[in-house]
C-alpha cells in the first residue's frame, strides 16, 4: 500500500517550516500584513499543499510535476526570507536557519522527483 503524503519527510519538513514562518511573521509590522507577511505565508504553505495535491494524482509523472512546483515555492521562500532580513523583520540567525532548511527541503523535493521519474 502506498503511503500518505503526511508520511513523506519532504511534506513533514514543508509543514514544519510553514508553521515556523507563521510564528515568525506574527511579529512583523502591521503595515506588512498584506504584503511581506501574506507573500511569505502563501509561499510557505504552498509547498506542503502542493506536495499533498501531487500525491493525489494518478501517475508518478503527474506527482513529479507537482513536486517541481512545490520546489519552486521553496525557492521563492529563499527570496522572501532574504527580503525580510534586509528589512529588519528577521534576525540574521533566523534568516540563516530558514535558508538552510528551505535549501535542504528543495534538495529533498528534487531527490524525490528523480526517484518518482525512475519508476
Instruction: Render pLDDT for 19-63 as a digit per residue (tens, 0 to 9).
Output: 999 999 999 999 998 999 999 999 999 999 999 999 999 899 999
Count of domains for the chain: 1
Query: Which structural domain range is residue 110 located in?
Result: 5-118
Could you tell me which of 85, 79, 83, 72 has the C-alpha nearest to residue 14?
72
**CATH code, domain carrying 47:** 1.20.1440.60
4: number of Cβ within 10 Å: 10
Q: Which single residue is written with the C-alpha cell 527570496? A: 79
Q: pTM, whole model, 2 decimals?
A: 0.94
Amino acid at each position: 500500500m502506498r503511503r500518505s503524503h503526511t508520511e513523506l519527510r519532504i511534506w513533514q519538513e514543508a509543514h514544519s517550516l510553514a508553521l515556523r514562518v507563521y510564528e515568525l511573521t506574527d511579529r512583523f509590522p502591521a503595515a506588512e500584513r498584506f504584503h511581506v507577511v501574506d507573500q511569505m505565508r502563501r509561499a510557505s504553505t504552498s509547498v506542503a499543499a502542493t506536495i499533498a495535491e501531487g500525491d493525489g494524482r494518478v501517475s508518478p509523472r503527474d506527482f513529479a510535476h507537482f513536486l517541481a512546483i512545490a520546489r519552486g515555492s521553496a525557492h521563492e521562500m529563499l527570496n522572501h526570507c532574504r527580503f525580510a532580513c534586509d528589512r529588519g523583520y528577521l534576525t540574521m540567525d533566523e534568516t540563516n536557519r530558514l535558508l538552510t532548511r528551505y535549501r535542504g527541503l528543495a534538495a529533498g523535493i528534487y531527490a524525490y522527483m528523480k526517484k518518482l521519474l525512475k519508476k
